Structure 1
Amino acid sequence: MLLCLSASHKNADFEILETLSGGVSGLSRRVSDEMSFIGGIVTVATCNRVEVYVDVDEPVTAAEAVTYEGVVERIAIEAGIDVARVRDAFDTYSDMDVAEHLFRVSSGLESLAMGEDEIAGQVRRALETARAEGTTSADLERLFQRASQTSRGIKSVAGVGEAQRSLARLALEMVESRVVDWRAVRVLLVGTGSYARVTLAALKERGVNDIAVYSASGRAHEFALKRDLEAIAHDGYASAVASADLVICCTTGDGFVLNADTVRQGRRRVGGHAPLFGASVDECPVSAAPVEVASSEQIIVDLGLPRNVNPDVTTVSGVELLDLETIRLHTPITALQASQKAEDLVSRAVKKFSRVSEEQNLAPAMVALREYFLDRADDEIERMRTRGDHSKETEHALRHLVSVLLHEPMVRARELARQGEGERYNDALNALFGLVVSAPVAAETYPQAENAG
């Protein structure tokens, strides 16, 4: 049985998501060790969702409830928060609803910025992490690989590519109405990971040329050298913050990388900040609802979860903070809806996954039936040899007859599997031949998923 616990921007606020994201590191390994009936577990943690996918391989009593409570309790311990708060933050999906949900998530149809590109890579990396930790399973491998295939298919659909947006691009659209000329904007990019690369691409698309990069981990020089950017050293960080019109923070580390003291310290060093963003706007460029925006000298964008920027930066005169919560409030969901064709692709992918799952679940019964008939044929061939009636022709004819007799039962098995009636087939084998078929044991190997871009 497949089970998914999902906390996202749709059912939880960013404060609890931030806390939960810090409590799922190493969760899969600990849950697997504690609950022997769990066959596999994969954890997906992004900037606006925390999800746990579980493969329960033993039909324990109330398996779904037992697994759910066990995972929730472990997350509460790891995150250091009350169990009730964790329980309230998660929605649950089971069986084929899990497949549909993950296919939609991986394709960006459930993202804060509908159709975003980055989520597919994050889902793939979650599977790779589970592999490295030894917590995946054959069913979860197949589920996540089908999700990757579905997301690639949707990305290639005409009309859907245009809807694909990243949070970085969405944030820049919210800034755009105050920009007369992007070429005049001084930008400081804080971070060198995948989100930094996406953000840099979005800035370049708008013609931004004055871009500096800073990394608390010391990777700024290498990142900047490859992209012809200015690298900021640690001792120049505060000054670079004060000198920038737009600061975009997108790191994955714990703790704040920017606070009010850093901004004030930098301004003292460079002698204040010359305002580029001076005009108020009456309407958010990506929202149908009016948004009141104060005149700003400087805009700081926080794309991190956990938060990269201490909210106290707004106590500094002229600083405006644009964080994930603000982006969520003003995201035009209807404008970013994927096409109906994308929804149809997800639906077809779920049906195919369900069909293959049912057939795989029934495979042991089909093997058992075939072995039953072949064993009887082997017994008869052995008797023929004992009586001296054996010949290659009769042996071949007898085995061919077994194959002919098995053809219709095998076809019927696949039909019942696709209809979700596999249990009837197992019951019939038990009633007719006394065959008791146990649950399948996964013994497949899977190719490594492609690296995220």
Structure 2
Amino acid sequence: MVLISLTASHRELDLDALERLSSGSMSVGRTIVGTCRPVQGSVVISTCNRFELYLDVDAPLDGDSVRHATRHVADIVAASSGITPEVAVDSFTVRTGTEVAAHLFAVAAGLDSMVVGEREIAGQVKRALHESRHDGTTSKTLELLFQTASRTSKQVAHRTTLGGTGRSLVSLGLDLAGETLRPYPAARAVIIGTGAYAGASVAALRARGCTDVRVFSGSGRAADFAASHDVVAVDVGPESLVEALADADVVVSCSGARARRGAAGPDAEVSIEYVLDAAAVARARERAAARAEDQPEPDALVILDLALHRDVDPQVADVEGVLLYDLSTLKANAPATEVAVVERAHDIVSVAAGRFEETRLGRAADAAVVALLDEAEATVAAEVEAAVRRLEAELGPYGGATEDDVEAIARGARRRVHAALHDRIVEVRAAALAAAREREAAVVRGAEEALRGSRAAEESRA
């Protein structure tokens, strides 16, 4: 079995490219496992700044299955996202073995996020595994990988200061908004969406003293969310949202529910329906101005768009009196983190990844150690037999070795043999693990080379 990850994030791609790549992410995992026989399991992480596929592949050492599986995955992603297979292949970074675990553990710990140390990603990693279980696409190895990632994230949070800084995209956005808003205890907020970021937004607003919080959901889930978070639900309907916006100082939009209309394909014409368009915001500002009465102008409205698949029409930024902060803005304003803290967190991740790999690849190593122990037992048996013969020769024909004599001889022989065996066990296990890693890496190197070669051939034919 080979672990492979295909990852794309804000570090490798601009957010527009990442959005196109992940636009069909909902069904990719099921499709991959259902149509590609070598793939035994799949988990998909799709967030506001990353799209990652983790695959458990049953691959022979010649690499053909891995090459087929990886190319097939790229084709599926391309078909679901409306991009070409070549773009999909070029967009992904392929990892294997220790690299897979080390990357996922770093992601879960918030070390690969726009805001280093953000805590929301740990929950997103857990949900990705939960969704894979629900879809029936996980595997024993992926279960172990993702559960270990969650434990490692907790270790980083507890053993470094990253866990106590409260870093997140939501917090960063609210900090930026706070530079323009009235003080948060007097501010009025509207949250669009009811997912994990919505819950984090409620908590972050309350931490800043904001108590006037309303929530809107186009799918009708606002009432349940409001009841569970002690906020006020906005009725479904565009005019209800406009009315809420007219009274708001800050809007946090994190639904990711934008719709696309039109044929799929890299060159297809599509129309986009945003959750919040410029016309609705303009109407809200007109109502706010009318309510301002003798004031020169209403307070500015700050809108945070935290959805990768933009909730808010970019033209909203052109509406008078509106400040729009999207993911690109937040990325540009993400704070630096103390180098020593990040290095400590990476050390924790590295150790955890190494231990995970020893567990995952331990079967080959364990087999080598068992063979060594069998050899040691054979040596002990031979020594005992020889020692018993010597004892009986000394005792003569009228004596003989008793059971206690044999047991004492066996204990002594086993102590001597096993004392000399420890260093050999360590060496044999390390060699077996290294060989297993190299065989796996060779398989994936072959898959990557085949993918690049296939792409080059297609380009030359074109």
Aligned match for 1:229, one of 222, 228, 231: 231
Q: Which residue number corresponds to residue 31 of structure 1? A: 32
Q: Which residue number corresponds to residue 115 of structure 1? A: 117
SS in structure 2 of the partner of residue 300 of structure 1: strand
Contact kept in structure 2, 1:358 and 1:422, CA below 8 Å: no
Contact kept in structure 1, 2:362 and 2:433, CA below 8 Å: no
Contact kept in structure 1, 2:193 and 2:253, CA below 8 Å: yes
Deviation by residue 1:135-161 (Cα, 9 ceiling, x = unmatched): 222222222121111100011124222
Contact kept in structure 1, 2:245 and 2:284, CA below 8 Å: yes
Deviation by residue 1:149-186 (Cα, 9 ceiling, x = unmatched): 11000111242223341100010111222234222212
Contact kept in structure 2, 1:37 and 1:56, CA below 8 Å: yes
Going from structure 1 to structure 2, the CA distance change for 1:273 and 1:311 (only over 3 Å counts) comes to farther
1:86 matched to 2:88 = yes
Structure-1 separation of matches of 2:363 and 2:109: 25
Q: Which residue number corresponds to residue 283 of structure 2? A: 265
The CA deviation at 1:216 is 1.2
The CA deviation at 1:33 is 2.8
The structure richer in helix per residue is 2
Unaligned runs of 5+ in 2: 260-273, 379-402, 437-462
The CA deviation at 1:396 is 10
Q: Which residue number corresponds to residue 69 of structure 1? A: 71
SS in structure 2 of the partner of residue 26 of structure 1: helix
The CA deviation at 1:104 is 0.4
Q: Which residue number corresponds to residue 249 of structure 1? A: 253
Deviation by residue 1:25-66 (Cα, 9 ceiling, x = unmatched): 221222123322223221111111000111222225335544
1:322 matched to 2:325 = yes
Taking structure 1 as the reference length, the TM-score comes to 0.76
Amino acid corresponding to residue 261 of structure 1 in structure 2: A
Structure-2 separation of matches of 1:199 and 1:14: 22
The CA deviation at 1:368 is 7.4
SS in structure 1 of the partner of residue 138 of structure 2: coil
Structure-2 separation of matches of 1:197 and 1:170: 15
The count of corresponding residues between Structure 1 and Structure 2 is 395
Going from structure 1 to structure 2, the CA distance change for 1:54 and 1:401 (only over 3 Å counts) comes to farther
Aligned-CA RMSD value: 3.5
Q: Which residue number corresponds to residue 48 of structure 1? A: 49
Q: Which residue number corresponds to residue 417 of structure 1? A: 429
Going from structure 1 to structure 2, the CA distance change for 1:345 and 1:372 (only over 3 Å counts) comes to closer
The CA deviation at 1:119 is 0.7
Q: Which residue number corresponds to residue 283 of structure 1? A: none
Going from structure 1 to structure 2, the CA distance change for 1:10 and 1:85 (only over 3 Å counts) comes to same
Q: Which residue number corresponds to residue 262 of structure 2? A: none
Going from structure 1 to structure 2, the CA distance change for 1:421 and 1:197 (only over 3 Å counts) comes to closer
Structure-1 separation of matches of 2:45 and 2:412: 51
Stretch deviating more after TM superposition (166-175 or 121-130): 121-130
Larger radius of gyration: 2
1:310 matched to 2:322 = no
The CA deviation at 1:221 is 2.0
Identity of aligned residues (%): 35
Q: Which residue number corresponds to residue 238 of structure 1? A: 242
Deviation by residue 1:229-284 (Cα, 9 ceiling, x = unmatched): 22211242111112211111111434321111222333455554759xx99xxxxx
Q: Which residue number corresponds to residue 387 of structure 1? A: none
Q: Which residue number corresponds to residue 177 of structure 1? A: 179
Going from structure 1 to structure 2, the CA distance change for 1:370 and 1:216 (only over 3 Å counts) comes to same
Structure-1 separation of matches of 2:282 and 2:82: 33
Structure-2 separation of matches of 1:202 and 1:372: 62
